[in-house]
Amino acid sequence: AIRMTQSPSSFSASTGDRVTITCRASQGISNYLAWYQQKPGKAPKLLIDAASTLQSGVPSRFSGSGSGTDFTLTINYLQSEDFAAYYCQQYYSYPRTFGQGTKVEIK
């Protein structure tokens, strides 16, 4: 199985900050990567597909980049509603695997 490793596991930030979360795959996955946001008690929400394609309705302050093994999720000008957990997921091969998650907390 492809291992997905996110960093950091958690961090504190302030509204207005620019934050970057990284996701590394244990082998190349081209751009077969998704990013999800999850708030407490809720199902994950798809933010980005194909490493960099923003889903309809997702604010443009979110962006994704990368290909191969290294990927990033960037949130420009962090808003209060962005404090949540974020997960990457590869769909290059089976089994589908997720990163362990990154929790963005209020400083």
Partner 1 sequence: QVQLQQWGAGLLKPSETLSLTCGVYGGSFSAYYWNWIRQPPGKGLEWIGEINHTGTTNYNPSLKSRVSISVDTSKNQFSLKLSSVTAADTAVYYCATYGSGSSLDYWGQGTLVTVSS
Phi, psi at 98, each rounded to 5°: -110, 155
Token pair for residue 96?
């589908």
61: left (phi over 0), alpha (psi -120 to 50) or beta: alpha
Among positions 15, 27, 28, 50, the unique one binding partner 1 when judged by CB under 8 A = 50
Residue 62 as a binder of partner 1 (CB under 8 A): the answer is no
Residue count, binding to partner 1 (CB under 8 A): 24
Token pair for residue 6?
């996110």
Residue 1 as a binder of partner 1 (CB under 8 A): the answer is yes
Residue 30 as a binder of partner 1 (CB under 8 A): the answer is no
Residue 67 as a binder of partner 1 (CB under 8 A): the answer is no
* Cα dihedral: 32, 77, 85, 22 (round 10): 40
Please, what is the minimum distance in Å from the beta carbon of residue 65 to partner 1?
16
Interface positions with partner 1 (CB under 8 A): 1, 32, 34, 36, 42-46, 49-50, 53, 55, 87, 89, 91, 94-101
